[in-house]
Structure formats: C-alpha cells, structure tokens
Copies of this chain bind each other. A is one copy, B any other.
Amino acid sequence: MPQFLATTDADFETRFQALLTMKREDAPDVDEAVAAIIADVRARGDAAVTELTARFDRLELTPDRMRVTEDEIEEAVARVPEAERDALTLAADRIRAYHARQMPEDARWTDEAGATLGWRWGAVDAAGLYVPGGLASYPSSVLMNAVPARVAGVRRLVMCVPAPDGVLNPLVLLAAQLSGVDEVYRIGGAQAVAAMAYGTETIASVDKITGPGNAYVAAAKRRVFGRVGIDMIAGPSEILVIADAENDPDWIAVDLLSQAEHDESAQSILITDDAVFGRAVAAAVDARLETLERRAIAGASWRDFGAVVTVRDLTEAATLSNRIAPEHLELAVAEPDALAERITHAGAIFLGQWTPEAIGDYIGGPNHVLPTARSARFSSGLSVMDFLKRTTLARMTPESLRAIGPAAVTLAGSESLEAHGLSVQARLDRLNRP
C-alpha cells in the first residue's frame, strides 16, 4: 500500500520530509571493477574490449566484427513491421522539430567603450551514445539522445549497444538509422564507455558520451568525465501528478503506473485537493495492478515508494511540488497553465488531462532524458545544448583599451599578478608615447 498523507495531519511535515529524502536505490559499488576495465581498455584497446565482451555478453568478437555493418543494419531494419516504422519515424520527426527550436543564437556587439564582444556556439566534433542491451534497449532513448546531437551539428555520431548472446534489437538499429548515427558497435558496459572515451584501434575516441546504462556504465561515465563530457547520471524515474477531482481515477492510475512499471525503485506520487478522489485513484491502481504485465515491478514500486498526498488547495500542491522538484509533473487540473505559473522546479510539465506523461516519453517532441532525484532544482533535461559549447569573443581597439585598460592594470596589481598588468600596460605605454 502506498503512503497516504494530508497536509492537515499533525505529523505531515515529518512524513513529507521522509518522503523527500527516502533512499530508493542501493547502487552497487562497482567502482574498482570499472577502474580496472577502463585501465585495461586504455592499455590494450580492441583486445581488451573483445575479451570483456566474450566474458560479459557471451559474444565472441574479432575487432573487424565489432562494428555492425550497413548490410546488417539494413537487414534488421527490413524486419521492423510498418506500424512500428511509421511510429518511430513520426517520433524522430517530432523530436527533431522540437530540438531544432533550441538552437541558440550567436551574438556580437560593440559597446559604449568601443570593445567588440560576443560569443559563438559550435558543436562537439564527435559524440558517443550508449544504449543498454536486452530488455532496457529502448529505441525511444536512441532518438532522444541521437537526434539532439545531429540537430546540434555533431559531425560524427557513434553508438555502442551490447548484443548479449549476439542479439540486437532491430528497432534500436532503425532508430539509429532514422536519427543519423554514423557508426554502431555491438559492445557494451564499462568497456564500451572506455573505448569511446579513449579510443581503440577500431573505434576513434569521441568528445562527449551520453545515454543511460546500468551501474557499470554509470560508474564508467563518472570516471571518464573530464577526458570527455558526459550527460547526467540518471536515477530511477519519477512522476508527480497533481489532479483535482474532475478526473477519471483510472486515467490518473495508469499515469502513475506508467512510471512505476519502469523499475521497482521508481516513484509515483499523486497530490490532490480531494481525499476521496485520492482513495479512488489508489483503488484504480490496485485494479489495474491485477492484470498489468509488469505488475510485479509496478506493484513493488507503488507499495514501497508510492504516495497519495491530500492538500487544502492547489497553491499548496504547487509548493509541495517545488520541494519535490519532480522529473515528470502532470497537471491534471482545470487550469493547468495557471498552476504551471507557480511551478519553479520540474524537468517536464504535462499540461491538462489530455497530456499523459507517456506522450513525452515517445512522441511529444521534448526530450525524455530528464533530471531525477530532485536535481530539477539545478539541472535540465537533455537538449541540443548538451552537444554545443560556447566560445566567448572580445576585441579591443586602441581607444577601448585606453578606456578600460587602466582598470585592468589596477586590478592585476590588487591581485599581485604583475605580468597581467604588464600585458595591458605595455600596450597603453605605446598609446601614450608622444
């Protein structure tokens, strides 16, 4: 049974605080094993990667078999039923259209001192996308990572996906094709991350690595960070639904379950201003759990981490939501835009009862890689910005240096950085020469 809380309860603050800070995941400590794998790949390249692949994925590879060939991709992709191909194509197009709008502008201007200032955006040269194998091998995740990279202008896009026992998901290959991935390698785990970060004889190194993975992949990404850029390390998924009583309890129940079914550590929370409605949703969840395919996972998540919170009004709901800073926030209320105005921290907001969160997972257009574990307080979902970097620009004229240079000399003096001051003063001296 999920927790039931009400802001009118005497012990509400204590219980809500416990809900906020509850630990949902015991990450296994694989850091030492991962360090050894990375060192091995750095030292021995392809030989290490193929040995590790034989050990972990039960797949005997030679270096020339690491890369999935165009023919193999075509063959796999041809097996995808038309309905799935069409759906994935629509998703890719919509994600591309959304992310294209995110491209930031360059800027350049001359200010009143005569200094020309600005900045310029550029794409990383090469990006590597990690895709988990087996059951968690989601074609939608390929689109969500690869499409923004391509939109940003990344020139070389690499994908690593393990093929346990040799098996690859044709839909994952189709997603790679639709989003313009250049190279696909059938390797996974920390060895794939190491190969992309440091390069091997077969795989040229990349500059940025993104994508989800298990504890080994997460630890490897943390370790190669600095050598390459990485995206966030995502925790288990979460949804917060704020719903008034004018909703079908069953709709809200399946929305809650759509996160709960991801993972036993996922968390689904309902905040409502109607306690009776809250009970009705909980009953609808129980009813759906009787037949849901992933009922073992979803049921455990709902039982251990689910919560139904009754509030006095929707303003209170917004306040609690901002303390939770949810990854996904559904506003199933009559005036969702008005309520959204009060939300300061959330990865993604789904407005109104016709916008189930699952739309955002697949087809809406916004990215489904979003900040978890309250990190929406300080971070954002994946976007084209993750594949771009900014170079700032400054150009002084003799006149502008004369105007602002002396202040730089003064500040360099304050910081006892003489050469800093001299580099400006040497030029000012020339200007002041008769």
A69-101 interface code vs B (CB 8 A; 1 in, 0 out): 000000000000001101110110010011001
Distance of A49 from chain B, by nearest CB (Å)? 21
In chain B, what residue has the closest Cβ to A364? B394
Q: For residue A63, which residues in chain B have a CB less than 8 angstroms away from its CB?
A: none
- Copies, count: 2
Q: In the complex, are the beta carbons of A390 and B395 less than 8 A apart? A: no
Q: For residue A347, which residues in chain B have a CB less than 8 angstroms away from its CB?
A: 391-392
A residues 95-138 touching B (CB-CB < 8 Å): 97-98, 101-102, 104, 107, 109, 111, 113, 115-117, 119, 122, 124-125, 135, 138
Q: In the complex, are the beta carbons of A411 and B84 less than 8 A apart? A: yes
Distance of A123 from chain B, by nearest CB (Å)? 9
Q: For residue A406, which residues in chain B have a CB less than 8 angstroms away from its CB?
A: 87
Q: Which of B113, B258, B395 is within 8 Å of A352, CB to CB?
A: B395
Q: In the complex, are the beta carbons of A261 and B417 less than 8 A apart? A: yes
Q: For residue A164, which residues in chain B have a CB less than 8 angstroms away from its CB?
A: none
Asked, given contacts A258-B419, A258-B420, A412-B362, whether A349 binds B392 with beta carbons under 8 Å apart, the answer is yes
Q: In the complex, are the beta carbons of A261 and B420 less than 8 A apart? A: yes
Q: In the complex, are the beta carbons of A411 and B363 less than 8 A apart? A: yes
Q: Which of B102, B139, B405 is within 8 Å of A411, CB to CB?
A: B139
A354-388 interface code vs B (CB 8 A; 1 in, 0 out): 11111111111111001101011111110101000
**C-alpha spacing A340/B421, complex, angstroms:** 25
Q: Which of B125, B393, B412 is within 8 Å of A349, CB to CB?
A: B393
State whether the Cβ of A60 lies closer than 8 Å to any Cβ in chain B: no
Q: Which of B260, B359, B379 is within 8 Å of A405, CB to CB?
A: B359
State whether the Cβ of A404 lies closer than 8 Å to any Cβ in chain B: yes
Distance of A184 from chain B, by nearest CB (Å)? 19
Q: In the complex, are the beta carbons of A426 and B248 less than 8 A apart? A: yes
State whether the Cβ of A166 lies closer than 8 Å to any Cβ in chain B: no
In chain B, what residue has the closest Cβ to A109? B101
Distance of A344 from chain B, by nearest CB (Å)? 5
Distance of A149 from chain B, by nearest CB (Å)? 12
Q: For residue A361, which residues in chain B have a CB less than 8 angstroms away from its CB?
A: 408, 412, 420
Distance of A323 from chain B, by nearest CB (Å)? 11
State whether the Cβ of A416 lies closer than 8 Å to any Cβ in chain B: yes
Distance of A45 from chain B, by nearest CB (Å)? 16
In chain B, what residue has the closest Cβ to A431? B354
Q: In the complex, are the beta carbons of A419 and B260 less than 8 A apart? A: yes
Q: Which of B83, B88, B94, B343 is within 8 Å of A391, CB to CB?
A: B343
In chain B, what residue has the closest Cβ to A291? B418
Q: Which of B359, B380, B394, B420 is within 8 Å of A394, CB to CB?
A: B359
Q: In the complex, are the beta carbons of A410 and B87 less than 8 A apart? A: yes
**C-alpha spacing A337/B108, complex, angstroms:** 12
Q: In the complex, are the beta carbons of B254 and A419 less than 8 A apart? A: yes
Given contact pairs A87-B408, A336-B395, A363-B408, a sample of 10 additional A-B residue pairs in the complex whose CB atoms are under 8 Å apart: A87-B411, A125-B345, A251-B426, A251-B427, A293-B416, A351-B394, A354-B395, A371-B389, A381-B390, A385-B385
List 9 contacting pairs A-B, 8 Å CB cutoff, sorted by A.
A87-B410, A125-B377, A135-B416, A139-B411, A288-B422, A294-B419, A348-B392, A348-B394, A364-B394
Q: Which 3 A-B pairs have the closest CB atoms?
A: A229-B378, A366-B392, A351-B395
